[in-house]
Amino acid sequence: MKKKLLFTAMLASISSLIWAQRNDYATIQTEPVQNPMLWADVPDPDVIRVGDTFYLVSTTMHLMPGAPVMASKDLKNWETVSYIFDRLTDSPKYDLQKGTVYGRGQWATSLKYHNGKFYALLAPNERGSMGDTYIFSADKAEGPWTIVSRMRHFHDCSLFFDDDGRVYVIYGTGELMELKPDLSDVIEGTHQQIFKREEDERGLLEGSRVIKHNGKYYLLMISHTYAPGRHRREVCYRADDIHGPYEKQVILESEFGGFSYEAQGTIVDSESGDWYGIIFQDRGGVGRVLTLMPCRWINGWPMLGDENGKVPETVRAYKSGEPAGGIVKSDDFSSTRLGLHWQWNHNPVDASWSLTERPGYLRLKTSRVVNTLYLAPNTLTQRMEGPTCSGAICLDLSHMKDGDCAGLAAFNSDTGSLTVKKQGKKLVLEMEELVVALSDRDKEVTKTDAKTIESVTLKEPKIWLRVDADFRPTGRGGGKDSANFYYSTNGQDWTKIGTSDYRLGFDYRRFFMGTKFGIFCYATKKTGGYVDVDEFMYEKK
């Protein structure tokens, strides 16, 4: 029988929501937005509104395509509608050769709409020309996006179109340059330090987001002084002239949900004139999540949070009756195009994957001999989500070659993996724990520690693999951040394997991202093998 029937027992608890997503069924939403608004890795947000639609862009670093654009009508249900670029090609590092770009790549994109066009400005966190700032444009958020220009690196920058037609980039810690009207480059000689740090701003001060409201300029930034008793916070610098002088106000200093204090994001207005703040929070293994909150203009300052200045647990949805949506999805691979909910780890090898060679399946072919998952081309990823989630695949292993490895991972710099290994004529499933070491300069993989926790020999060339993740708060200033691993030989009866409550982490020195589901197939001896992936089934609880 077709694969969906084989998943019935495992996924009996899946609501009609999953079915609705596959059939474009409009599920009525009347509940408020529950914070986190997006309980997944969606850092460095910029948000704008065009007409009745909100658009959000986020950082995805080494994942391709990059710079995802998400859309929502109600600030509750978000869908990925495009990526600003398909791949970056300035270095073989983006292809997992001569180094990597783990934790680098695209950072902190600025999104704007001006004179009927969308604009996006981003700068990869790299040295030299790899770190050039890109400006892209599109007639609609769904793309296609095209490169307008490249110029010098600007860290955590914000593009800003002023009412008089002049264009600026604000970046770093209060630095400004003017751009040429055609956005082709900066105007030399326009660099300015628009404010000086105060004594209480000696730590982190970045993440620029600029808006203009009632004739005044507002620069929002994350601030964190690394000292006892000091917390991360969102600050705002305000001026009557973009060149200054600027005055400062703390607009949010709030922990939330048993996790750390939050900051970095932006504010956006609705068609009816309400204002909202969208700010991210570090939440361990799931990554950096987004929270939604009221923005109240008090004495000309955009004050964030509830009436007590705290991040609320719920916010009234801006609209009711919108279709349910999500940025993480099940997939039966029946389309001839890969869904926008997927991203590859680094640039893919396009000739080594297919949705058409066996319709209804994703074929992953080996294309390069490597000795670790961290250098394997064509690892396909999706975010994990809180509070808990589950992802499962079915693999046809019939065409693996000796030395091939394939499976499903909780993928990060520390990875828990369900790996099927072809050893001569045998197929062996191993639950592994992998830890990668990267060089600081080139992010080269210098070492991978691999520990097999449990293994089982497979009798048939077909296997179901499942990873369950738990990010629920523990009440001790963090989340459970754990994963458990399962396999099945019939798609109905599941056996736990390996580590119980494998610890999922977040390491800013290596990957700098939340844990992802990763589907992979790579060769350690010779190329030419492949696996067919028969559906990815996903459930968020």
DSSP-assigned letters across all residues of 301-357: EEEESSTTS---SEE--SSSSPPP--SS--B---SSS--TT-EEESS--GGGEESTT
Average per-residue pLDDT for the chain: 94
Query: How high is the pLDDT of residue 3?
Result: 47
What is the mean pLDDT of the segment spanning 129-153?
A: 97
Q: What is the 3-state secondary structure (H, E, C) of 345-394?
A: ECCCCHHHEECCCCCCCEEEECCCECCCHHHCCCCEEEECCCCEEEEEEE
What is the mean pLDDT of the segment spanning 102-108?
A: 96
Q: How far apart are the first and last CA of the chain?
A: 28
Whole-Å CA distances, 114 to 23, 50, 150 = 35, 10, 19
Question: Would you tell me which CATH number, out of the four given (1.25.60.10, 2.60.120.200, 3.40.50.720, 2.60.40.10), belongs to the domain 343-540?
Answer: 2.60.120.200
Q: Which CATH superfamily is domain 39-315 in?
A: Glycosyl hydrolase domain; family 43 (2.115.10.20)
Q: What is the 3-state secondary structure (H, E, C) of 430-473?
A: EEEEEEEEECCCCCCEEEEEEEEEEEEEECCCEEEEEEEEECCE
What is the mean pLDDT of the segment spanning 127-150?
A: 97
List where CATH 2.115.10.20 sits in the chain.
39-315
Q: Which residues, at least 6 apart from 97, have a Cβ–Cβ distance to it below 8 Å?
A: none
The share of the chain scoring above pLDDT 70, in percent, equals: 94
Instruction: Give the count of beta carbons closer than 10 Å to the beta carbon of residue 414.
Output: 21
Q: What is the pTM of this model?
A: 0.94
**Measured between alpha carbons, how far is 112 from 55 in angstroms, rounded to an integer?**
10
Per-residue model confidence as pLDDT tens digits over 147-203: 999 999 999 999 999 999 999 999 999 999 999 999 999 999 999 999 999 888 889
What is the mean pLDDT of the segment spanning 24-53?
A: 85
Which residue from 531, 536, 535 is spatially nearest to 396, judged by alpha carbons?
Answer: 531
Is the pLDDT assigned to residue 219 strictly greater than 50? yes
Residue 7: pLDDT band (50, 70, 90) is: very low
| Secondary element (H or E) of residue 234 | strand 233-239
Is the pLDDT assigned to residue 12 strictly greater than 70? no
Query: How high is the pLDDT of residue 22?
Result: 37
Is the pLDDT assigned to residue 327 strictly greater than 90? yes
Query: How high is the pLDDT of residue 17?
Result: 36
Task: Tell me the catalytic residues.
Answer: 44, 206
**Measured between alpha carbons, how far is 370 from 64 in angstroms, rounded to an integer?**
20
Q: Which residues, at least 6 apart from 308, have a Cβ–Cβ distance to it below 8 Å?
A: none
List where CATH 2.60.120.200 sits in the chain.
343-540
**Measured between alpha carbons, how far is 483 from 470 in angstroms, rounded to an integer?**
6
Instruction: Render the burial of 181-190: b for 16+ CB within 10 Å, e for the rest.
Output: eebeebeeee
- Tokens read off for 304: 């964030």
Q: Which has the minimum average pLDDT: 61-75, 283-297, 309-323, 367-381?
A: 309-323
Q: Which residues, at least 6 apart from 85, have a Cβ–Cβ distance to it below 8 Å?
A: 65, 66, 67, 106, 134, 136, 145
Query: How high is the pLDDT of residue 5?
Result: 37
Contact 493, 9 (CB under 8 A): yes
Q: Which residues, at least 6 apart from 144, have a Cβ–Cβ distance to it below 8 Å?
A: 138
Query: How high is the pLDDT of residue 18?
Result: 33
Q: Reduce the DSSP state of residue 4 to 3 states and report it.
A: helix
* Residue 240 half-sphere exposure toward CB, CA atoms < 13 A: 0
**Measured between alpha carbons, how far is 89 from 96 in angstroms, rounded to an integer?**
11
Signed CA dihedral, 334, 335, 341, 347: sign only: positive
Is the pLDDT assigned to residue 4 strictly greater than 60? no
Per-residue model confidence as pLDDT tens digits over 334-350: 999 999 999 999 999 99
Identify the burial level of 264 via C-beta atoms within 10 angstroms of its C-beta, where 0-12 means exposed, 13-18 middle and 19 or more buried: buried
Q: What is the 3-state secondary structure (H, E, C) of 102-141?
A: CCCCECCCEEEEECCEEEEEECCCCCHHHHCEEEEEECCC
**Measured between alpha carbons, how far is 276 from 267 in angstroms, rounded to an integer?**
6
Per-residue model confidence as pLDDT tens digits over 448-492: 999 999 999 999 999 999 999 999 999 877 899 999 999 999 999
Is the pLDDT assigned to residue 10 strictly greater than 90? no
Is the pLDDT assigned to residue 13 strictly greater than 90? no
Query: How high is the pLDDT of residue 30?
Result: 63
The share of the chain scoring above pLDDT 90, in percent, equals: 90
Q: Reduce the DSSP state of residue 300 to 3 states and report it.
A: coil
Residue 31: pLDDT band (50, 70, 90) is: confident
Query: How high is the pLDDT of residue 26?
Result: 39
- Tokens read off for 300: 């000309």
